[in-house]
Amino acid sequence: MSDALITVENVFKRYSGDEVAVKGVSFEVRKGMIYGLLGPNGAGKTTLMQMISTLLAPTTGYVRICGLDSVDDALEIHKIIGFLTTEIKLDPLSTPDELYDFFARLYDIPEETIEAKKEKDYGRFGITPFANKRIVELSTGMKQKVSIAISLIHEPPVIIFDEPTNGLDILTSRQVMDYLLELKEEGRAILLSTHIFSVAERLCDEIGILIGGKIVEAGTAQELTEKTGSENFEEAFFKLFKEYSGEE
């Protein structure tokens, strides 16, 4: 049996008419591993991440999370994944504290442990001074840090983050990347999407290059660089993009 916590098997997604956003994607993410989907705008990253996190059903193919089916066992899956998408926003009129408490109770975190856990999570990302401000008043980076803290409140073994460093400055981006590496060390299975080479190169044990709804090549940044006869990973991506983006 495979030790994959995330299994994506020949997944297709057709939205309507002829628009096929994801065209036969397969890969696995194991415990203690970061898998990155790297692709340009419109490649299908968000569509794929939403299928993996049960928000969308695949048109064909299947997704399993810890052996559970993304369509039949969606409710069970919610308990074991931490999900961050570019599409879902925090309630603008709530405060970080209100949201944190709400989600802590939703996930049955024991009442007496919430404050200590909150202090630790807030401390990591410098959220404390903003705890009672409304979300609408926070900067993009602070909103993202609050979203990350809340999405991981139940300490899920599987983490699915769509563009976790999008819109963040290099300092905040680095904080988020360092945190993801810590979570990997703890043995979580992490799937992230990005269009930023340096994020993929620094974090990922395996990178799937997603172009036009297909993973056209996969491997470590070094393997992809060598496979394409490139000087560096950025050049490898451009070569693959040039080769595959003109398809159909």
Ligand X SMILES: Nc1ncnc2c1ncn2[C@@H]1O[C@H](COP(=O)(O)OP(=O)(O)OP(=O)(O)O)[C@@H](O)[C@H]1O
**Contact residues: ligand X, CB under 6 A:** 15, 19, 21, 39, 41-47, 195
- Comparing CB distances to ligand X, the nearer of 121 and 217 is 217
Q: What does 228 bind: ligand X, Mg ion, none (CB cut-off 5 to 8 Å by kind)?
A: none
In angstroms, give the least distance from the CB of 33 to ligand X: 21
Q: How far apart are CA 188 and CA 200, in angstroms?
A: 17
**Helical axes 170-185 vs 140-151, angle rounded to 10°:** 10
Q: What does 41 bind: Mg ion, ligand X, none (CB cut-off 5 to 8 Å by kind)?
A: ligand X
Q: Within positions 24 to 83, which residues make up the interface with Mg ion, using CB under 5 A?
A: 45-46
In angstroms, give the least distance from the CB of 36 to ligand X: 13
Q: What are 214's strand-pairing partners?
A: 211
Single-letter code of the amino acid located at 248: E
In angstroms, give the least distance from the CB of 105 to ligand X: 31
- Comparing CB distances to ligand X, the nearer of 45 and 214 is 45
Binding residues for Mg ion, rule CB under 5 A, total: 2
In angstroms, give the least distance from the CB of 31 to ligand X: 26
Residue 60's CB is within 10 A of a number of other CB atoms, namely 10
- Comparing CB distances to ligand X, the nearer of 45 and 143 is 45
In angstroms, give the least distance from the CB of 212 to ligand X: 9
- Comparing CB distances to Mg ion, the nearer of 13 and 45 is 45
Q: By CB under 5 A, name the binding residues for Mg ion.
A: 45-46
